[in-house]
Structure 1
């Protein structure tokens, strides 16, 4: 029975890319209709968009839970499926604040998918991040080789190889693979698009751009999020590369191999440092960065509160909890700002 389920989930994965573009198109239609004040048409389009979004996440369950063996991303994907359908239901029921979240999803996709799907952009970003990661690795005294590899055919399958060994999970001939010497066979660590931080940066670009607020405060919100995400992501890459390449995270090997279905004991370090340590720290970092953004751009709380309602079914007043000035949220003059041309200070 389990094999049948996994086979079905694997089959669904092939539809993820076309579904992604359908989702973007549906959210684009929703946003255009909403901004042109055709609210009921926008509501119908939004419900369809969120339904497609749920199907999109369903198509990725196998990839994150089985292929990537990621507990956090796997659980997140499972939650995203019913959550997306529920958002569509809430939008249909009249929760109009979800139009902001819908607009944010469109903008997130508009930032992320060009780098995911356009080869020249993907290669530029991946190799730029790889070069910067290599520099940081060298600064801490580690010296892996950085290679491209070459195409090879093994058992009728086209793969990327280096020095006679298959480079796992490498799909493109980019200069993005670190090679660590380890006894008889090397350890490869390849920087892919998921290692560039573009996904997390796209989330915050979408959130910040979607809300109605003065440009000055939006720029401040960008300043306390995007550079920090990029820098932390480089640190994450260094930690994973060195931790895996030099086998520094061989913790509870028997347990990890059993739980994650590993056959190569050296993969234990990768699972621990990436799937457990790095991804857990990423969640903490994103929460912290969200707090920094909210302090500069309280309007984002509308989206955060909607997400919390979707997940918990309860309403939250984060403005009061975080001591955010109500005037800034409602678009009124900020504390200390001038209220009119007649206001002036004494000389």
Structure 2
């Protein structure tokens, strides 16, 4: 479910470009490098188009901020790859795999609707374990994805499960990284078995927490301030619990959980340390040797040649 036609088009262009960048080096090294570097630039533009959506539509300052950072980061990644940092081809392959996993679900109704409904049902089960009795109702598009507390009363409160609430994005990130590195199938399978079910379960816990916190009004503290911070002045004061549960606590915990899962995955696929080292280099400008091999120096040049040490 893309936010706009432009976003959808850019997303498909990015995935196709990264996939092409993965395949082209087998036939033309220079063309593969140019296409992959260009894919990173377009990827940055894609994130730029999402900033208004995250800031205004979702009132998610964390996601909006990360999207802003992603714009120059993607452009810089493309520049470094073009200049010869070959190790970034692994990260590029990972993005291609992520896109192949995630993008179809965002644009094809027969794929994302059953997934959303499954997550809604499982979240309902979790909420019932807490002693509440919500019901699931359909949204405006006929998808049974709305968890409703206190139906038929003045205290009715609903939380809708969206595609972003399924954990598919996080699963795509970890799966893309795992499948992109050069490691044995057995170790990759173990890493996937560790990461994917863990993400799924933690995501259900996240949805249970958010829906229950809003439905039962767990965090009605500093209400005017919370509503004001999230630019929702004039909205129902009851939304304070939702904003605190989702935008502050759950999103922060999700980042910590994803990092923890990545550390667990590194035990099975230590080759990912090279990708982590690349990301650290992009952020700090300093080379790091994390035990996954020598820091990536030199490599192929933009004209397809090799650096001479």
Equivalence for 1:343: none
Deviations 1:110-134 (A, max 9, x none): 0001111111111111111111111
- 8 Å contact from structure 1 (residues 57, 80) kept in 2: yes
Matching residue within 20, 25, 39 for 1:29: 20
The aligned counterpart of 2:75 is: 85
Where do residues 49-128 of structure 1 align in structure 2 (5 Å cutoff)? 49-128=39-118
Larger radius of gyration: 1
Establish whether residue 271 from structure 1 lines up as the match of residue 271 from structure 2.
Answer: no
Report the counterpart of residue 225 of structure 1 in structure 2: 195
How far apart, in 1, do the equivalents of 2:150 and 2:287 lie? 54
Q: What SS is found at the alignment partner of 2:23?
A: helix
Cα deviation per residue 1:79-127 (whole Å; 9 max; x = unaligned)? 0011000001101111010111111000001000111111111111111
Q: Which residue of structure 1 aligns with residue 142 of structure 2?
A: 173
> Runs of 5+ in structure 1 lacking a partner?
1-11, 150-159, 161-171, 328-347
> The residue matched to 1:224 in structure 2 has which SS?
helix
Give the conservation status (yes or no) of the 8 Å contact 1:13–1:60.
no
Is 1:19 the equivalent of 2:10? yes
CA–CA distance in 2 between the matches of 1:308 and 1:71?
A: 23
Higher relative contact order (CA 8 A, sep 6+): 2
Work out whether 1:291 is the aligned partner of 2:263: yes
The CA deviation string for residues 155-200 of structure 1, in whole angstroms up to 9 with x for no partner, is xxxxx2xxxxxxxxxxx31111111128635211011100000000
SS of 1:184's partner is coil
Tell me the TM-score normalised to structure 2 length: 0.90
Q: Deviations over 1:317-339 (max 9, x none)?
A: 222xxxx7x69xxxxxxxxxxxx
Paired residue for 1:235? 205
The Cα RMSD (Å) is 1.6
In the other structure, the counterpart of 1:141 is: 131
> Is the Cα–Cα contact under 8 Å of residues 251 and 272 in structure 1 kept in the other structure?
no
Q: TM-score w.r.t. structure 1 length?
A: 0.80
Report the counterpart of residue 251 of structure 1 in structure 2.
221
Match of 2:37 among 37, 47, 59: 47
- What is the Cα deviation at residue 41 of structure 1? 1.0
The answer (yes or no) to whether the contact 2:274–2:290 under 8 Å persists in 1 is: no
Aligned counterparts of 2:79 and 2:265: Cα–Cα separation in 1: 28
**Structure 2: gaps of 5 or more residues:** 295-309
CA–CA separation in structure 2 for the residues paired with 1:85 and 1:133: 39
SS at match of 1:318: coil
Q: Separation in 1 of the partners of 2:119 and 2:162?
A: 9
Q: CA deviation at 1:242?
A: 0.3
C-alpha distance in structure 1 between counterparts of 2:20 and 2:185, whole Å: 25
Runs of 4+ with >2 A deviation: 181-186
